[in-house]
């Protein structure tokens, strides 16, 4: 039998030796996961210097060793924390990142006094983290909402389905850069062209010229990382174009992007009469990480094609 504080120190040592960024926080997450308790409850056990049985210590040690090989922690424990939710993750599907929570927060603030009902599209949904967080929060705020979450990768769509099963979210496996493909996958969306209240997206956006080098990030699939062109803007620009076609006049658009894309995306949306008020939003580190814009009310959307100027 070993004291929980000793076990946490042991795990911390393993992780520090492997150059893991936050060994203290990760050690606590691993121990809480094996004990099946919250981080808050772990604090109580630590204060009481609770003794752990040999089986728990063995499981914790195995996880610590696996993490020391730089396997992402989220794959080891099967979940990622996102906006207060425990989102299921699996190898082959992008692990949601904490910086994306700003997108959820900003969208919620935009609709804070909206009575609903809302119709929201989450393009490139991955695990469905954004859709699940928005659905959960809007439900808590009594704002009736229907969401659609779209990903081109079947494995991601399956996981998104599992993560959003308790909410009013329909998950589709389709190419979000092509609304014909989306409508083929979900014909019920055809009448919703130019009817959607919000389009949110965290698409792949990394420039192919600057591949990721952090080991954990390299475990994410290329399909989730790279933006389809040398500078990484090809897919984000197509997503913005698609958002314009889905949104109702006055609709809200917010998309995460590479920190090098801020000016280019704001310029592109400023030059497009479909948009007004394009602006950059920073992430928690102060990097320009999101573009946000409003679908121009004076531009008449057409149901099945790109927007055109009102006559
Ligand atoms: C950066 S990940 C973001 C996942 C999720 N939105 C999040 O924030 O955690 C990008 C996602 O876009 C998906 N994707 C890539 N190209 C796509 C396309 N053309 N249509 C739909 N999804 C696409 C990938 O499979 C991946 O799940």
Ligand 1 centroid from CA 296, angstroms:
26
The verdict on 15 and 158 lying in the same domain is no
For residue 117, cis peptide bond before it (omega within 30 degrees of 0): yes
Decide which of 70, 85, 105 is a domain's last residue: 70
Closest C-alpha residue for ligand 1 atom 12: 124
State the Rg of the chain over Cα: 21
Ligand 1 centroid from CA 188, angstroms:
22
- Residue 214 confidence (pLDDT): 81
The verdict on 173 and 55 lying in the same domain is no
Ligand 1 centroid from CA 172, angstroms:
12
Counting from 1 in the atom list of ligand 1, the atom nearest the Cα of 97 is 9
The verdict on 123 and 161 lying in the same domain is yes
The verdict on 119 and 263 lying in the same domain is yes
Number of domains in the chain: 2
Residue 89 lies inside a defined structural domain of this protein: no
* Residues ≥6 apart with Cβ < 8 Å to 19: none
Its sign, for the CA torsion 9, 13, 14, 16, is positive
DSSP 303: T
Bridge partners of 79? 88
Domain of residue 287 covers: 96-295
- Residue 106 confidence (pLDDT): 98
Counting from 1 in the atom list of ligand 1, the atom nearest the Cα of 175 is 20
Residue 265 lies inside a defined structural domain of this protein: yes
The verdict on 65 and 126 lying in the same domain is no
The verdict on 22 and 104 lying in the same domain is no
Distance from C-alpha of 147 to C-alpha of 239, rounded to nearest angstrom: 17
SS3 227: coil
The verdict on 175 and 246 lying in the same domain is yes
Q: What is the pLDDT along the chain (311 residues), one digit of tens a residue?
A: 589 999 999 999 999 999 998 999 999 999 999 999 998 999 999 999 999 999 999 999 999 999 999 899 999 999 999 999 999 999 999 999 999 999 999 999 999 999 999 999 999 999 999 999 999 999 999 999 999 999 999 999 999 999 999 999 999 999 999 999 999 999 999 999 999 999 999 999 999 998 887 877 888 889 999 999 999 999 999 999 999 999 999 999 999 999 999 999 999 999 999 999 999 999 989 999 999 999 998 655 554 444 443 32
Residue 309 lies inside a defined structural domain of this protein: no
Counting from 1 in the atom list of ligand 1, the atom nearest the Cα of 96 is 9
7-26 pLDDT tens trace: 999 999 999 999 998 999 99
- Residue 213 confidence (pLDDT): 79
Residue count of the chain, please give it.
311
Closest C-alpha residue for ligand 1 atom 17: 152
* Residues ≥6 apart with Cβ < 8 Å to 84: 133, 136
The verdict on 108 and 196 lying in the same domain is yes
The verdict on 180 and 270 lying in the same domain is yes
Residue 288 lies inside a defined structural domain of this protein: yes
- Residue 300 confidence (pLDDT): 55
Count CB neighbours of 212 within 10 A: 14
Phi, psi of 85 (to 5 degrees): -105, 155
**Binding site membership of 150 for ligand 1 (Cβ less than 6 Å):** yes
Q: Are 247 and 272 within 8 A, CB to CB?
A: no
- Residue 302 confidence (pLDDT): 52
**Binding site membership of 176 for ligand 1 (Cβ less than 6 Å):** yes
- Residue 308 confidence (pLDDT): 41
Q: List the CATH number of the domain containing 182.
A: 3.40.50.150
Residue 174 lies inside a defined structural domain of this protein: yes
Counting from 1 in the atom list of ligand 1, the atom nearest the Cα of 122 is 6
Residue 77 lies inside a defined structural domain of this protein: no
Task: Identify which of 116, 94, 119 has the alpha carbon closest to the alpha carbon of residue 256.
Answer: 94
**Binding site membership of 276 for ligand 1 (Cβ less than 6 Å):** no
Distance from C-alpha of 62 to C-alpha of 6, rounded to nearest angstrom: 16
Residue 279 lies inside a defined structural domain of this protein: yes
């Amino acid at each position: 039998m070993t004291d929980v504080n000793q076990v946490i120190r042991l795990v911390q040592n393993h992780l520090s030796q492997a150059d893991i960024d936050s060994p203290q926080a990760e050690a606590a997450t691993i121990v809480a996961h094996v004990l099946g308790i919250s981080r808050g409850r772990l604090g109580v056990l630590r204060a009481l210097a609770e003794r752990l049985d040999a089986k728990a210590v063995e499981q914790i040690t195995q996880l610590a060793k696996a993490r020391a090989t730089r396997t992402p922690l989220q794959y080891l424990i099967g979940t990622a924390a996102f906006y207060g939710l425990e989102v299921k993750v699996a190898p082959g599907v992008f692990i949601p990142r904490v910086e994306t929570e700003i997108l959820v927060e900003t969208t919620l603030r935009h609709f804070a006094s909206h009575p609903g009902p809302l119709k929201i599209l989450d393009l490139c949904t991955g695990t469905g983290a954004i859709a699940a967080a928005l659905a959960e929060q809007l439900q808590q705020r009594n704002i009736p909402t229907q969401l659609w979450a779209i990903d081109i990768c079947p494995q991601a769509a399956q996981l998104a389905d599992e993560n959003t099963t308790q909410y009013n979210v329909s998950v589709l496996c389709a190419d979000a850069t092509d609304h014909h493909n989306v409508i083929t996958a979900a014909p019920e969306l055809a009448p919703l062209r130019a009817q959607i209240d919000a389009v949110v997206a965290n698409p792949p956006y990394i420039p192919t010229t600057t591949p990721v080098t952090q080991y954990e990030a390299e475990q994410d699939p290329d399909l989730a990382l790279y933006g389809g062109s040398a500078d990484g803007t090809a897919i984000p620009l197509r997503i913005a174009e698609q958002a314009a076609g889905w949104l109702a006049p006055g609709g809200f658009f917010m998309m995460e992007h590479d920190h090098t894309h801020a000016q280019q995306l704001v310029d592109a949306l400023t030059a497009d009469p479909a948009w007004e008020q394009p602006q950059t939003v920073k992430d928690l580190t102060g990097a320009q990480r999101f573009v946000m814009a409003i679908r121009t009310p004076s531009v008449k959307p057409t149901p099945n094609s790109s927007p055109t100027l009102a006559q």
